[in-house]
Amino acid sequence: MPKLLILGAGQYGMVAKEIAESMNRFEKIDFLDDNNPIAVGKLNEYEKFKSEYDSAAVAIGNSELRLDYIEKLKAAGYILPALIHDRAYVSHTASISEGCFIEAMTVINTEANIGTGCIISAGAIVNHNAVVEIGCHLDCGTIVKARVNIPANTKTDYGQIIG
């Protein structure tokens, strides 16, 4: 079974860990963080852990920093799985890119496309044929209407309706 290293042990890190645990796919899950004592190392030490962990996720709220670390981890040879909670609905025709978190009770509908490094929070709905570009964070209860394109690095508010 793969071993997962999560960069960031704050609020997003705890959510990412819970999602990963729901998937029952990882033998071991640990954190890198500069300020949290539960971490096994610092953020910039990710290369040092490559021999022990084959997969990594970036749980940092700042989208530019999140995408930057995703690129660094890819270059270092990590697998960057999409973490999809077992209680989310994702259509078999939807596309979820690497490094995404899809939280519980989320709906990703027919032929929706979620770009690299997105966070789709609990209760969000991305309707059919919508595109969520890289680095976005759709907060809890966000609704993206059909065929809408969400620009890169967009952060929505709770309950926002887009389209």
Going from N- to C-terminal start, the domains of the chain cover 3-75, 82-163
Q: Is 119 helix (H, G, I), strand (E, B) or coil?
A: strand
Cα separation values, 42 from 37, 129, 143, Å: 10, 39, 36
pLDDT in tens, 43-95: 999 999 999 999 999 999 999 999 999 999 999 999 999 999 999 999 999 99
- Looking at residue 138, its pLDDT comes to 98
- Looking at residue 76, its pLDDT comes to 98
- Domain 3-75 fold: Rossmann fold (3.40.50)
- Domain 82-163 fold: UDP N-Acetylglucosamine Acyltransferase; domain 1 (2.160.10)
- Looking at residue 45, its pLDDT comes to 98
> Which residue bears the tokens 């910039």?
44
pLDDT in tens, 81-132: 999 999 999 999 999 999 999 999 999 999 999 999 999 999 999 999 999 9
